[in-house]
Amino acid sequence: MTDGIIDIRRYLHESAEPEEGRSKFALWGADGERARFALPLWRIVSLAKGERGGIVSRKVDGSTALKALVVLDLARDPARVDFDALGGGLAGGHVEPRLDDLGGDGVVVRLGVHGDYFWTLRVEGNGRGREALSPKIREDILFLAGECAGLLFLRGLADYGG
């Protein structure tokens, strides 16, 4: 890092250059402490070959409405902040941390519960079709999702109220 600018090439997987269309992105909600989500979220979206990703919450009371905390969009500017309920996630109220690979629909990582909210990391749209994530990629995504969960819960970023 030089002069506060992150050179993303050193964080790329298997390549020194970003994939076509992956060198720029739109970021929403990443002001103040939330800016710490930008790099791990960008890395997760890139690893999953997604178009966008976000840290989102849903009320524990069974509501299906999702609310974004921070969103990174590699395909559109401004970033799309509305998320549909994907499969996986928090069905049945089970909240143990895990990664659900939904193939062509994306990836959902359960981050945990805080107060009245379930928190997940979601990646939507991808260039891998129905191809499953490799064990190495899953491991890397889970590690980075753990970093996001730490920021969310240990730095109090989940306290904003969902």
Taking the CA of residue 142 as centre, how many other CA atoms within 13 Å lie in the half-sphere pointing to its CB? Answer: 13
Mean pLDDT (the chain, rounded): 81
Domains of the chain from N-terminus onward: 17-160 (3.30.450)
Q: pLDDT tens, 41-99?
A: 999 999 999 999 999 998 888 778 889 999 999 988 889 999 877 555 544 455 567 89
Instruction: Specify whether the CB–CB gap between 148 and 56 falls below 8 A.
Output: no
Q: Which amino acid belongs to residue 156?
A: G
59 or 22, higher pLDDT = 59
Q: pLDDT tens, 95-124?
A: 567 899 988 888 999 999 888 899 999 999
Enter the tokens of residue 31: 């002001």
Taking the CA of residue 85 as centre, how many other CA atoms within 13 Å lie in the half-sphere pointing to its CB? Answer: 11
